[in-house]
Structure 1
Amino acid sequence: MSVIRFPRNDNDFAQSVVVFVDLQREYVTEGRAPALSRREPWWGNCRRLLDYARDSGLPVAHFRLLKREPFFNRATPFADWIEEFRPRPHEMVFERSLPSCYSNESFATLLNSLERPNFLLAGLTADGSCLATMVDAYHRNHRAAFVADASDSRARGGYGEEQVHGVVTEIAAQFGVVTSTSEIVSRSVGRKPSLVG
């Protein structure tokens, strides 16, 4: 049996919630076990995407991982935001202890209240929180677009960060759209943002 695949209208993402995951000091503080060895391209692209979302008036949501363990512990300064990505007072902030953003019930409720639930996903790490969120979005019939160049992955099992990130990006494409910062910014120029589309 042949399957005909119709192209999806990715322009819907011009009217998305823009979700930034775990832009916390644990990932950039030298000597901390979760720290990534590289900051580019994810840092610059997250900055560009955040500036774009703010300038466009898109709704911005920030997620923070908090655990009762030595890493990502609220009592340490390492669980705090990377200063450049600190949420503004009018932006949404969600906290969770499990990988998927959907583990925060308020976030799931927000998306369920939208006529066309969709969001852009950027931040850390692709091999953990981002991939878990993409899978959960797929199972809820929500549209997620993973902004791959505004994210990074940890080294695992003898494979470096770049190799792991490439594989995780391929897996994420099975559960939603994979895109880049430039594609989002260029495709969205001139579109009026709206939560309900």
Structure 2
Amino acid sequence: MSFDRYVAICNPLRYAIIMNRQTCILLLLGSYVGAFLSMLGPSVLTAPMIFCGPNKIHHFFCDRAPMLKLACTDISLAEFADFISSAVLLLGSLILTGVSYTYIVITILRIPSVQGRQKAFSTCVSHVTVVILYYGSSIFLYVRPKKGNAVDINKFATVLNTIITPMLNPFIYSLRNERVKESLRDIFNKYVGILTNVRSQK
């Protein structure tokens, strides 16, 4: 998405040529291959582990860190592999996103008209919001050498990462639509009007 925004703002006349079907397929395949390879090493290390004792994971889905807590063997190598794969995947993609947005901001600041700058910024705000929510919670969850025992905090960050952020995505992206903004303004004005009437009647 950040590459798409970069091309749309920094190379608008070449957008259709650069973001063609082949580029989109390569970006999609790169995401799937990167995700597969990042999980391959930690999964190979976890497969031969012996699990004994309780079989209940103290989490609301089968995530790797809570599952490793149930192992009867030494998990330090598996935790280290998790940390390295998470750091490479998350921080690597965050750096690419950061570089894209650095170029975008530089290009936007060169736009002479204020209206043009506002329009260009508005196309990026929704994606930046989602990026901050997603990367903030993901880095907190996965890019820590010692996961610790703060289970409740980890659960909250996981809920933010897996439920709240995807649920907010349609709302965040639809805020760019003028009709949605007008509808929200109308609802807000009606709500304020109803509250004012109720207070005046009291």
TM-score range, shorter chain: under 0.3
Q: TM-score, normalised by structure 2?
A: 0.24
Larger radius of gyration: 2
- Compare relative contact order (CA 8 Å, sep 6+) and give the higher one, 1 or 2: 1
Higher strand share: 1
Higher helix share: 2
